[in-house]
Amino acid sequence: MPSLTAYLSFNGNCREAMTFYHACLGGVLTFQTVHEYSSAPGDEELENCILNATLIRNQLVLVGTDLLPEDWKRGNSISLWLRCESEVSMKKSYQKLALGGKQTQPPMRTVDGALFGTLTDKFGNEWLINFSVKKLRDGRSF
């Protein structure tokens, strides 16, 4: 079965951003620098850039990098949808991810009884955070 992983690009602050997400969401966080990937000597500043940072917590996987294409521009067409396992974890995740960012829609009940909120974190990424009592076929909350 295929899986989809969010791959986030940062402009030199990948370590800070991924460490923030780790503090908010928990899990296991690993970093790989350009220097660790390539033994060839090069630009010291580039060698310290994060090639890949990976945060894994159960089915949640976030990957980030400092390496950007020259024409990189943060878009507004992608959001990260975090489906939480409980109302308590949803509220905690929302509060933590909103630190230093902008709460665009505080958590509120939807017509079907779900709890839903949106925010833009301090790194400019938009989050949709949800908890619902409805279940998907595989048992996860919708």
Task: Give the pLDDT score at 120.
Answer: 94
User: Rounded distance, CA 108 to CA 10, Å?
Assistant: 30
Task: Give the pLDDT score at 62.
Answer: 94
Task: Give the pLDDT score at 137.
Answer: 54
> Residues near 12 by Cβ (< 8 Å), separated by ≥ 6?
49, 66
**Which CATH fold topology does 79-131 show?**
2,3-Dihydroxybiphenyl 1,2-Dioxygenase; domain 1 (3.10.180)
C-alpha torsion sign, points 96, 29, 114, 101: positive
Task: Give CA torsion, residues 60, 65, 70, 74, to 10 deg.
Answer: 40
Task: Give the pLDDT score at 77.
Answer: 62
> Residues near 58 by Cβ (< 8 Å), separated by ≥ 6?
27
Domain segments of the chain as ranges: 6-65, 79-131
pLDDT in tens, the chain (142 residues): 666 788 898 888 999 999 999 999 999 999 998 877 766 566 666 777 898 999 999 989 999 998 876 776 766 667 899 999 899 999 999 999 999 999 999 999 987 888 999 999 999 999 999 998 765 555 554 4
Contact 112, 64 (CB under 8 A): no
Task: Give the pLDDT score at 142.
Answer: 47
State the pTM of this model. Answer: 0.76
> Residues near 114 by Cβ (< 8 Å), separated by ≥ 6?
130, 131, 132, 133, 134, 142
Q: Does domain 6-65 have CATH number 3.40.50.2300?
A: no
